[in-house]
Amino acid sequence: MKAITLLGSTGSIGTQTLDIVTQYPDQFRIVGLAARSNVELLAAQIRQFCPQIAAICNADQLPGLQAAVADLDPQPILLGGEAGVVEVARYGEAEAVVTGIVGCAGLLPTIAAIEAGKDIALANKETLIAGGPVVLPLVQKHGVKLLPADSEHSAIFQCLQGVPMGGLRRILLTASGGSFRDLPVEQLANVTVADALKHPNWSMGQKITIDSATLMNKGLEVIEAHYLFGVDYDQIDIVIHPQSIIHSLIELQDTSVLAQLGWADMRLPLLYALSYPERIATDWEPLDLVKAGNLTFREPDHQKYPCMNLAYAAGRMGGTMPAVLNAANEQAVALFLAEKIRFLDIPHLIETICDRHQAQHQISPRLEDILELDQWARREVLAVAGKLESPVAV
Ligand code: NAD
Ligand code: MG
């Protein structure tokens, strides 16, 4: 039985991971849980999964959490604040930590888990994108596995099993195209938050759903693929595949192309990250190609979606630039979700902040530099957004 800790347990990735634990109680058990603020759900999860430790990042809510599970015997260790989440990440005999926190907030807990020798089932892509230059050497140093749980990267990782060193030529990331894939570019200026949150294929947290609508999610995944698989940016391409049945493909040196297919269901990549290299038998609905119907592909539209090129450019610069891109995106998306800026302000803000960072760009940053720049980029976005000529004032 594998002992796992789950960060971000109340979110989309978190609750789907717990579905897997519920379905396969002989395979997995929960050592630690952490979430930001949903006391009610976290308390229910503590009752059901009996972790040894749990944390709520919003420290003000710790007393509420303590009261909600006061009758439990034995009592789990309950902690509050960012330090509490870090403690959960490194605690006890968990072999693997599923990182389902959204955003760069996952960076310090992920580092703590790596330093404690735990394998990482990585959903929290922002941590790798912002922290790649410090996270990857730590993964090497502590000899832990960094197992992708993002569906595209899981697909690539699955296809790579058995490919010899040097056999990989190119990665092809598939993209659903997000909420506005069939909307003419002229209409993007006036889309609303509610429109952007209607993803055609996947049900996910709000931030990644907006990232899918801007195609920044795919841009972030290009950088994620570069860090996970060591492939040059010239060898990573994006193809729009509206049905989300092929989760990504790899091209080998002899032009053979391998793909991984399945329904759009995050439980499958999560299960593989947790069971690797084993394959656990499930009773999930098998893929039916006839039912899936036509699988179609088209080129991504870089004019309509500038975020992809912004991400490629930041990835190619490397060092601190992806951290700045990521933080600017997180802040811009938060402003859009709060209806303070318009949809097309998102790429504009990110580009402005990345341009401002050029002069201070560092190739081999320390963790402190990344954390500082993350805060700097957020402040810059707020300052620039405040001056936008927008009908909605910040
Ligand atoms: P979500 O918003 O549904 O959930 C985020 C979770 O993180 C919540 O449980 C929240 O309480 C917790 N959290 C946020 N800040 C925290 C903090 N500082 N400390 C502790 N917990 C904190 O988001 P999601 O859709 O589950 O996405 C999570 C991550 O997985 C993101 O990085 C996303 O890009 C990635 N991802 C998600 C999906 C998906 O299908 N949802 C697919 C691929 C990758
Ligand atoms: Mg993905």
Which residues are known binding-site members?
Answer: 10-13, 38, 124-126, 150-152, 176, 199, 205, 212, 217-218, 221
The mean per-residue pLDDT over the stretch 363-391 comes to: 93
Query: What confidence score (pLDDT) does residue 393 get?
Result: 42
Query: How much is the mean pLDDT over the chain?
Result: 97
Comparing C-alpha atoms, which of 171, 144, 169 is closest to residue 157? 171
Checking if the pLDDT of 389 tops 90, the result is no
Residues contacting ligand 1 via CB (< 6 Å): 7-14, 34-36, 38, 57, 85, 100-102, 105, 123-126, 150, 202, 204-205, 208, 266
- The answer to whether 129 and 227 have CB atoms below 8 angstroms apart is yes
Pick the atom of ligand 1 nearest to 125's CA: 32
* Smallest CA separation from ligand 1 atom 25, residue: 205
The answer for 156, left when phi > 0, alpha when psi is -120 to 50, beta otherwise, is: alpha
Question: Tens digit of pLDDT for each residue in 30-57?
Answer: 999 999 999 999 999 999 999 999 999 9
Query: What confidence score (pLDDT) does residue 392 get?
Result: 55
> Residue 175 Cα, ligand 2 centroid: separation in angstroms?
8
> Residue 150 Cα, ligand 2 centroid: separation in angstroms?
5
> Residue 169 Cα, ligand 1 centroid: separation in angstroms?
32
* Smallest CA separation from ligand 1 atom 43, residue: 150
Predicted confidence band at 169 (pLDDT cuts at 50, 70, 90)? very high
Question: Tens digit of pLDDT for each residue in 197-255?
Answer: 998 888 899 999 999 999 999 999 999 999 999 999 999 999 999 999 999 999 999 99
Mutate to test the pocket of ligand 1, among 12, 16, 147 (most ligand atoms within 8 A of CB): 12
Question: Tens digit of pLDDT for each residue in 291-319?
Answer: 999 999 999 999 999 999 999 999 999 99
Mutate to test the pocket of ligand 1, among 5, 40, 101, 224 (most ligand atoms within 8 A of CB): 101
Question: Tens digit of pLDDT for each residue in 170-208?
Answer: 999 999 999 999 999 999 999 999 999 998 888 899 999
Question: Tens digit of pLDDT for each residue in 268-285?
Answer: 999 999 999 999 999 999
Nearest bound ligand to the CA of residue 211: 1
Using the structure block, give the residue that is written with the tokens 């990585």: 122
Predicted confidence band at 394 (pLDDT cuts at 50, 70, 90)? very low
**For a pLDDT cut of 70, what percent of the chain falls above it?**
99
Query: What confidence score (pLDDT) does residue 391 get?
Result: 52
Query: What confidence score (pLDDT) does residue 25 get?
Result: 97
Contacts of 39 (CB under 8 A, 6+ apart): 56, 61, 64, 65, 68
* Smallest CA separation from ligand 1 atom 36, residue: 123
The mean per-residue pLDDT over the stretch 379-389 comes to: 93
Look at the alpha carbons of 312, 318, 323, 324 in this order and tell me if their dihedral is positive or negative: negative
